[in-house]
Amino acid sequence: MALLSPKVYQWLVGVFASLGAFLFGYDLGVIAAVVASNTFKDAFSPDTSTEGLVVSMFTAGAFFGAGAAGPLGDRLGRRGTIVTGALFFLVGGGLQTGARDIHMMWVGRLISGLGVGALCMIVPLYQAELAHPSIRGTGRDGEMLKTLARLHSNNDVDDAFVRAEYEQIKTAVEIEHQQEARSYMDLFRSRSSFRRLFLCCAIQASVQMTGVSAIQYYSPRIFEQIGIATQDTLKYQGISNGLAIIAQTLAMLLIDRTGRRWPLIGGNIFNSVTFIIAAVLLALFPPGESNNLSAQWGFIVVTWLYNFSFSSTCGPLSWIIVAEVFDTRTRSKGAKGR
Amino acid at the residue 167: E
Residues 287-298: tens digit of each pLDDT: 767 677 788 888
Burial (CB count within 10 angstroms: exposed 0-12, middle 13-18, buried 19+), residue 19: middle
Give pLDDT < 70 ranges for the chain: 1-7, 9-10, 16-17, 19-20, 29, 124, 127-141, 173, 175-184, 186-187, 288, 290, 327-338
Rg of the chain (C-alpha set): 22
Q: What is the DSSP string of 90-116?
A: HHHHHHHHT-SSHHHHHHHHHHHHHHH
Other beta carbons less than 10 A from residue 170's beta carbon: 15
Residue 270: per-residue pLDDT: 93
Same fold, 1-130 and 184-338: yes
Give me the residue spans of the domains in the chain: 1-130, 141-179, 184-338
80 C-beta neighbours (distance < 10 Å), count: 14
CA distances from 302 to 193, 201, 276, 281, 286 (A): 39, 28, 10, 10, 16
The fold for domain 184-338 equals Growth Hormone; Chain: A; (1.20.1250)
Asked if 306 and 176 count as a contact pair (C-beta separation under 8 A), the reply is no
Q: Which amino acid is it at 161?
A: F
Q: Which residues contact 3 (CB under 8 A, 6 or more apart)?
A: 154, 155
Per the CB < 8 A criterion, the answer to whether 148 and 166 are in contact is: yes
CATH for 1-130, options being 1.20.1250.20, 3.40.50.2300, 3.10.129.10, 2.60.40.3880: 1.20.1250.20
Cβ atoms of 151 and 6 within 8 Å: the answer is yes
Query: So what's the pLDDT on residue 109?
Result: 93
Q: How far apart are CA 328 and CA 261, in angstroms?
A: 21
Rounded CA gap, 261 and 269, in Å?
13
Percentage of residues of the chain with pLDDT beyond 90: 14
Give the three-state DSSP class for 33. helix
